[in-house]
Amino acid sequence: MTTRTDAPTRREQILKEAARLFAERGFHGVGVDEIGAAVGISGPGLYRHFPGKDAMLAELLVGISGQLLTGAKRRLAEAEGVTSSEVLLDSLIEGHIDFALDDRPLITLHDRELDRLRDTDRKLVRQLQRQYVELWVEVVREVYPELAEPSARSAVHSVFGLLNSTPHLGRPGSLPGRGATAELLHRMARGALAAASAG
């Protein structure tokens, strides 16, 4: 996720460019030499950082799942005892919107390439995602206590689908601006949860 302000390491630069290229052309449509060229090093030079493309893909998909979970846990910890559930839910939504707007290639990559991971890595991604969903479900049920747990879980997955639609919104220059897009996504997410609770 793009919350850091310090300069990215070479390894992070490689991962960012790999994510972009994999999302644009598919995992098998990109060679190691192309990833290296995108960051100004030779293809073989990449092997000082990663054993191969499979390792890059695994680190990207496991990494973003872990970052989403860690970010959500941090928001919960920071707000414990001092913030209403409504504010906490808004904070969780904002965190996911940051990911959805700033890491769009990773959403495409997850949708297309998750099955290419080794079983152990794919299971880890799923495990991290389940934990992330459960954090959301807990907060959603505090805000909307009328929602039974299965319904809350379905609503959370639906909101993720809505927020993760950003790769289909068009090129960044065609959007109304990051702030306006984030605000729109936030309203839509809250509206979807409210509609689920009213059903």
Output the pTM of the full model: 0.89
Neighbours of 123 (CB within 10 A): 11
Name residues whose C-beta falls within 8 Å of residue 187's C-beta, 6 or more positions apart in sequence.
none
Query: Which carries the bigger pLDDT value, residue 62 or residue 172?
Result: 62
Closest among 5, 183, 166 to 93, alpha carbons compared = 183
Amino acid identity for residue 158 in this structure:
S
Residue 27 lies in a domain: no
Residue 147 lies in a domain: yes
**Number of structural domains in the chain:** 1
Distance CA 166, CA 72 (A): 20
Per-residue pLDDT of 80-136, as tens digits, reads: 777 789 999 999 999 999 999 999 999 999 999 999 999 999 999 999 999 999 999
Enter the tokens of residue 117: 């991971």
List the domain range (segments joined by +) for residue 193. Answer: 53-198
Residue 5 lies in a domain: no
Residue 28 phi, psi dihedral angles, 5° rounding:
-80, -10
Residue 194 lies in a domain: yes
How confident is the model at residue 4, as a pLDDT? Answer: 47
Name residues whose C-beta falls within 8 Å of residue 104's C-beta, 6 or more positions apart in sequence.
23, 166, 167
Residue 123 lies in a domain: yes
Residue 127 lies in a domain: yes
| CATH code for the domain of 89 | 1.10.357.10
Distance CA 129, CA 8 (A): 25
Residue 18 lies in a domain: no
Give the end-to-end CA distance of the chain in Å, rounded to a whole number. 34
